[in-house]
Amino acid sequence: MRYVSTRGEAPARDFEGVLLAGLAEDGGLFMPESWPEFPAAEWRALRGLPYAEIAARVVAPFAEGCLTLAELRGMTAAAYGGFSHAAVVPLVQLDARTHALELFHGPTLAFKDLAMQLLGQLFDHALERRGERVTIVGATSGDTGSAAIEACRDRRNIDIAILHPLGRTSEVQRRQMTTVLSANVHNIAVEGDFDTCQDMVKAMFADTAFRSEMKLSAVNSINWARVAAQIPYYVAAALALGAPDRPVAVSVPTGNFGNVLAAWAARRMGLPIERLIISANRNDILPRFFTANDMTARAVEPSLSPSMDIQVSSNFERLLFELLGRDAGATARTMRAFRDTGRMPVPDAAWREAAGLFRGVALDDEGTLREMRRVHAATSWLPDPHTATATYAAAHLAPEDPAIPVIVAATAHPAKFPDAAERAVGFRPALPPHLADLMRREERLEVMPNDLEAVEAAVRRHARRNAN
C-alpha cells in the first residue's frame, strides 16, 4: 500500500515510511492511495475472533508490502495482551439501542492505548530492522501524551518529547505523564493551549534542518498509523451488533478528529456505518461546521473535558481531501486560507456531502454534568465527561430507524476526571491498583514559553543526552 500527501507536494511512501515520517514534508497528512474494501463474507469471517486477531487482519491491508499478517499478529498479541479486560474493547448496553464501547482498559485508561500500544511495537520493529533511532515529538491535551509515553518508555531506539498545555489537563492526566521518570521521556509544559502545542509540533516538522537532524517522528493522529490502529475497534463493535448484515451508527466525542476519522475509514472499507455522530464541548467548531458550514476558529476555552479543548482539528484535512475529490492543490489552498483567516472556505457541495453523513452537537459543562448524572442514574454506568457529550449526542442525533444500534465511543475511564465525577454524581471513581499511588509519585517536567526555538533547543538537549 502506498500513501500520498493531502497537499500533493511530498513523495509517496509505504506504510513504514509513513509511520516513521509522521507528517508529510509538504505539511500535509498521508492518506492511502486507495481504500482496501472487505466484502461482506470477509467481515462475517471476523465475527467472534479475539480482538488481537481482528486488529491484525484489519490493519494488514494498510501495511501491505511492509509487514506480513504473521508479523502483525505477533504485534497485536503483544499490544493487547496486557489490557485489563479479556475482550479488550467490551460493549456495555446502556438502553434499547445505545451501546458504550469501552476503550479504556489499557494501561493509561483512554482510547489512545489501543493505537499507541500497537505503535510501540511497529516503531520497534521498523527501527530495529533499519538500525535507526528517532525522536518522537507529540502534542497532547491530556491523553495522547500518557499513552505515547507508556508505549515508548525505555525503548532504546526512541527519545520522546511530549508537549502539553500548562495547567490545562486534569491532574491525573498530567501525573500519568510527568511521573514517568524514564531517561528517554521528556515532558514539556507549554505556556499556551493545545493548539499552541500542536502548532509547535507541526512547526518542528516544517523546520527541515531540525527534522532531519533529530530524525523526527510523530505519534499524534497526524500519523496515519495511529488512525489505522483505531479502525479495528469500530469493526469489532459493529460485528458484535450484527454488521455487516445490520447497519450501525457511531457517536464519538471529538477534538482532533482522529477517532471519528477511523470510524469513517472503517465505512470506506465497507463496514455499514449509517451515520457518524460527533460531539464536542463548548469548543464547538466541528458541530458548527457540520450543521452550518461554519468552520471558524475561536479562542480555545477550558472545559470539563480538557482533551477536547481544541479548535484546529488536524485530521479534518483528511476528510477535506476526500470531499474535494482528492484534489491536493485545492486542499492545500483551503488549509492555507484557514491558517491565514481562521475560516475554512469549504464549497457548498462538499459540505452537503459531509453533512449528509456526519451530525454534530456541542454540550457545555453544565449539560455535561447533567448527562453524566442522567446516564449514571439510568444505568449505574458512569461516563467520563468526554464520553458524556457522546451519550448525549447519541440520544439526540441517532438515525430515525430505531433498529439501528448506536455505538458510543467511551474514550476514557471516569477516574481520570475525579473532580468532574464528584460534581456530577457525588463520588470520585477509584483509579485501578497500578495507578493507586499516582498522586504521591515524583513528577518531572520542564515549563517553557510558547517559543519554538527554545523548545527545539530543549528537545535537542534531551535527545543528545539520552543518545549518549
Ligand X SMILES: Cc1ncc(COP(=O)(O)O)c(C=O)c1O
Given ligand LJ64HWYM, ligand X, none, residue 251, with its beta carbon under 5 to 8 Å by kind, binds: none
Between CA 457 and CA 193 the distance in angstroms is: 20
3-state secondary structure of 401: coil
| Of positions 27, 61, 106, 253, contacts ligand X by CB under 6 A | 253
Q: How far is the CB of 416 from ligand X (least distance, A)?
A: 8
Please report, as residue ranges, which positions from 281 to 310 form the binding site for ligand LJ64HWYM (by CB under 6 A). 307
- The answer to whether the CB of 276 falls within 8 A of the CB of 260 is yes
| Nearer to ligand X among residue 22 and residue 244 (C-beta) | 22
3-state secondary structure of 233: helix
How many residues make contact with ligand X (CB under 6 A)?
16
Given ligand X, ligand LJ64HWYM, none, residue 254, with its beta carbon under 5 to 8 Å by kind, binds: ligand X
Intra-chain end-to-end CA distance of the chain, in Å: 36
| Residue window 104-143: x/- pattern of binding to ligand LJ64HWYM, with contact defined by CB under 6 A | ------------------------------------xxxx
2-5/30-32 β-pairing = antiparallel
- The answer to whether the CB of 231 falls within 8 A of the CB of 239 is no
Between CA 46 and CA 39 the distance in angstroms is: 12
Given ligand LJ64HWYM, ligand X, none, residue 140, with its beta carbon under 5 to 8 Å by kind, binds: ligand LJ64HWYM
- The answer to whether the CB of 106 falls within 8 A of the CB of 83 is yes
Catalytic choice (112, 202, 215, 416) = 112
Tell me which residue of 164, 161, 255, 148 sits closest to 204, measured CA to CA.
Answer: 161
Q: How far is the CB of 145 from ligand LJ64HWYM (least distance, A)?
A: 6
Beta-carbon neighbour count of residue 90 at 10 Å? 18
Q: Which residues contact 379 (CB under 8 A, 6 or more apart)?
A: 94, 95
Between CA 219 and CA 19 the distance in angstroms is: 9
DSSP string, 338-376: HHHHSB----HHHHHHHHHHEEEEE--HHHHHHHHHHHH
Q: How far is the CB of 232 from ligand LJ64HWYM (least distance, A)?
A: 16
Q: How far is the CB of 221 from ligand LJ64HWYM (least distance, A)?
A: 3
416 included as an active-site residue: no
| Of positions 170, 176, 187, 220, contacts ligand LJ64HWYM by CB under 6 A | 220
Chain-centre distance for alpha carbon 228: 10
| Of positions 5, 76, 251, 254, contacts ligand X by CB under 6 A | 254
| Nearer to ligand X among residue 179 and residue 259 (C-beta) | 259
One-letter amino acid at 92 equals V
| Nearer to ligand LJ64HWYM among residue 258 and residue 418 (C-beta) | 258
| Of positions 255, 360, 414, 418, contacts ligand X by CB under 6 A | 255
In what helix (H) or strand (E) does residue 192 lie, and over which residues does it extend?
Answer: none
| Of positions 257, 264, 338, 392, contacts ligand X by CB under 6 A | 257
Alpha-carbon distance values, 415 to 289, 365, 433 (Å): 32, 18, 12
Please report, as residue ranges, which positions from 365 to 404 form the binding site for ligand X (by CB under 6 A). 386
Please report, as residue ranges, which positions from 295 to 334 form the binding site for ligand X (by CB under 6 A). 307-308
Between CA 31 and CA 328 the distance in angstroms is: 11
Q: How far is the CB of 253 from ligand X (least distance, A)?
A: 4
| Nearer to ligand LJ64HWYM among residue 121 and residue 254 (C-beta) | 254
Q: How far is the CB of 98 from ligand LJ64HWYM (least distance, A)?
A: 23
| Of positions 412, 415, 421, 431, contacts ligand X by CB under 6 A | 412
| Nearer to ligand LJ64HWYM among residue 94 and residue 363 (C-beta) | 363
| Residue window 224-263: x/- pattern of binding to ligand LJ64HWYM, with contact defined by CB under 6 A | -------------------------------xx-x-----
Given ligand X, ligand LJ64HWYM, none, residue 405, with its beta carbon under 5 to 8 Å by kind, binds: none
**Residue found by looking up cell 448506536 in the block:** 406
Tell me which residue of 366, 406, 405, 356 sits closest to 389, measured CA to CA.
Answer: 366
**357-396 core/surface letters (b: 16 or more CB in 10 A; e: else):** ebbbbbbebebbbebbbbbbeebebbbbbbbbbbbbbbbe
Work out whether 313 is an interface residue with ligand LJ64HWYM (CB under 6 A).
Answer: no
Residues near ligand LJ64HWYM (CB under 6 A): 140-145, 220-221, 255-256, 258, 307, 314
Catalytic residue IDs: 112
Where on the chain is the footprint of ligand X (CB under 6 A)? Answer: 110, 142-143, 221, 253-259, 307-308, 386, 411-412
